[in-house]
Structure formats: C-alpha cells, structure tokens
Chains A and B, each alone.
Chain A
C-alpha cells in the first residue's frame, strides 16, 4: 500500500532581489493506492497534481518545502528509500516529452529502463514492452525528434512497464493522443494494474479515466477533496460528496457542459 498523508508543499521564490516569499502549492493531499488498483487523480491544470507525483518519487525542485508523510507498505518512504526504489519498484511516466534523451534511439532508452528495473534480458524486455504498445520495427528505433507526440508518449510508457515497477505513477499519459491511441495507453495501464501493480493515473480527462479506474480522487487547488469509486460518477452526480467533483462531472460536454454559476464558483474556490 502506498500512502500519502496530509502532504503540503511550499515554493520559496524571490520577488525582486531581496524579498523572499513562499507560495503554497499543495495544502492537504491524502490518498492511498493499493496493489492491483488503478487510481485516477483528476483536477484542473495548476492544481498541483504533477507536484504530488514528483513528491512521491522524490524529485521535487530544490526550492520546495515539504510537510506531511509518505508511506510504503507500512514503512516511511523517505528520501533515501525513494532514491533506492526509483526506477526499480517505483516508476514515474513524466508529463514532459523532454524527459526522453534526444541523442539516444528510443529502443535503447527502453532497454536501459528495463536494465535499471533488474530485467534479466533488458533488450527482450524492452522489445516486449514496446510491442505491447504497437511500437515495432522501424518506429521503435527512431530518435525522439522523429517520433510523433503520441509515439513519444508510448515510449515513455514502455520505459515504465519494461522495468516491471510495482508502483507506477503516470502523469497525463494520454495528452495529445488521438482516441484510438489514448484508449490503447489507458488499456495498457489497466492491464498493468490487473497484474497486481498499483497505478496512479494523473489526468485532467475525467471522462476517459472513468472507463479504466477503480477509484477517483478529485483534486482542487492543492487539496484532495474526495475519493470516490469510479461508479459514483453517474447521473447528475448525486453520489459525489463535494460540490467541485459534481461540477466537474456535470461540466462534461455530454452532461450539462456548464461552468458553475459565479455564486457557486466562489463557494467552490
């Protein structure tokens, strides 16, 4: 079980040359991720979802101050343990495509990831992971700049799955993909969870996360408002506890496609 308990994060930044100010990015973030579970974290961009992911694997920028606790299987997940597990048992699929090494062909990068994860035959593991995502033949051997955005996303996903990590954090893995590719990536994450791994899916795309997720945590302004089973997003959202989660559900184009009225919006904020 991977646990986040009341995580809070502040950024220190300089205003002008001398004055320093702290900006609070995460206020109160708590959630649990079980083995075999696909847990979606949804919310607006800028709400702090990616920072939570970076905090989980211990790759926060230097100017942050962290409070709260991280636990893995009943033991605290501190910086040393994060460093030891990162890339092996704990893997992040980053949102930025800039995470790929521009000078290395993609199949080699995936093989490296497999090696870090302890695969006995990294090349074969890499090939398998890429083939599962439809990256075969010539397209598996390209340099990152020769890949389309969708292919680059799949290479990042292949890197995370080739390493056979037990805990996978996918930060917006389906952004910029067409519907077919998006479903392919989400189905692959579901399969990873079904093999007994814990998958945290960070996304702004509630509609499509619901198809594969077991539970959904709604994130707003640095706070986890509620965790609900995916089935609670139904009808007019009566089963949801928070106003914001209900508004998010109702704002989908095939529901009401409405932004909350100004009065409600201030209550939500």
Chain B
C-alpha cells in the first residue's frame, strides 16, 4: 500500500498547490485522477514518485518511509517523452538504463529492434512513449504514476499501450495512478476515480 498522509506542497512562499491531501493506492489497484489544468495533478504525481518533497505530511510504502537512494519503487511516467530522455543517447541505452527488458517484453510494447540503434528524435512521439513506459518498469518498481501518458497518442496506439501496461501491471500487481483529462479513458481503466480541486481531493463519479 502506497500512502500519502496530509501532504501539503507549494512552490511559492505562502501558497500551497496541494493542501493536506491524503491518498491510498493498493497493490494492483488502478486509481484515476482528474482535475483542471493547473490544479496540481502532476504535482501530486511527482510527490508520490519522490521527485518533489512535500512541505508537510508524509509518504509511506507498506508502513515504512520510501527509500532515499537506489531504485525508487514509485515511478513517474511523463506526458512528453521527448523531455524525459537524453537526446544524445541511442534508444538502446535509454531503454536499458535502469534494467534490461527482455526481447519478449520489448515485443509486447511494440518496440522494434531496429529502433535501438536510433536516436530519440528519429522516433515518433508514440514510439518513444512506449520506450519510456517500458524503461520505467524495472523489477523493483511497484507503483506507477501515469501522467497523461497517452494524451498525445492516436486511439489505436493509446489502446495498445494501455493493454501492454495492463498485462504487465496485472502480472506484477502494480498499483497505477492514472492522471488524465478524458473521462471515458479513466472510466475504462480505473476502479476508483478522484478529482483534484483547489488543492483537495474529492471522490468522482
């Protein structure tokens, strides 16, 4: 169980983006998170993944604090893959940075062996997104923060990526926080859905 207790985060002095948020994500659970742009969805995702330290409040994984070094068991998957890879590295090096996915795993995510020799700008956004998602699935990872990962993709590529991720998540009982704007997509993927409004979480129907 990944837990955030009474988390408050802000960027400017005296202003809070998230105000006393508590959230639980169980192993194997898919939770949908929506909210207007600028409401703090990505901020919450980045706090959970350890990219951002909260001002107040705590994060716990199965009752203990999250590790400060080494592989972080909560991985953040970004909306724009171009900004999440080293543009000077070939895809093979990008993909194998944290772990080495097997050929079968690469195939499930539709990653062509010919891409491994290419540079990131030689792939399309949808192709690169699959590389970035698979890169984030190292063996020690237990929770994923999928931050609008398919909003730049066409419907077929979107469905294919979620299907591949869904199979992997089911096999490993990964908990997934799906951040997105598309109610139909969140409804399709997630058992529960919440909404961020004015720094607070509300249950969403």
Contacts and interface: CB of A to CB of B under 8 A. Distances in A.
A176 B151 contact: yes
Nearest to B186: A253
A121 to B, nearest CB: 33
A257 B159 contact: yes
Nearest to A42: B154
Interface string A234-264: 0000000000000111011110011110000
B32 to A, nearest CB: 12
A248 B156 contact: yes
B124 A44 contact: yes
Please classify how large the interface on chain A is, using the bins under 10, 10 to 19, 20 to 34, 35 or more: 20 to 34
A148 interface: yes
A177 interface: yes
Contacts of A148: 37-38
A178 B181 contact: yes
Nearest to B180: A253
B181 A179 contact: yes
Contact of B184 (A177, A180, A254): A254
Main secondary structure of the interface of A (DSSP, over half): loop
A229 interface: no
A98 B151 CA distance: 20
Contact of A44 (B37, B79, B157): B157
Interface residues of B, number: 28
Given A148-B38, A150-B37, A45 B154 contact: yes
B154 A204 contact: yes
Interface string B32-54: 00001110000000000000000
Main secondary structure of the interface of B (DSSP, over half): helix
B71 interface: no
Given A45-B126, A46-B124, A46-B126, A252 B155 contact: yes
Contacts of A181: 37
Contacts, number: 73
Interface in B93-135: 123-127
A175 B187 CA distance: 21
Nearest to A177: B37
Given A150-B37, A178-B37, A247 B126 contact: no
Contacts of B185: 253
B5 interface: no
Interface string B156-200: 111110110000000000000000011011011100000000000
B153 A204 contact: yes
Contacts of B155: 206-207, 248-249, 251-253
A249 B155 CA distance: 8
B125 A258 contact: no
A260 B124 contact: no
B152 interface: yes
A43 interface: yes
16 contacts: A44-B126, A44-B153, A44-B157, A45-B126, A45-B152, A45-B154, A150-B37, A178-B36, A204-B152, A204-B153, A248-B155, A248-B156, A251-B159, A253-B155, A253-B158, A259-B159
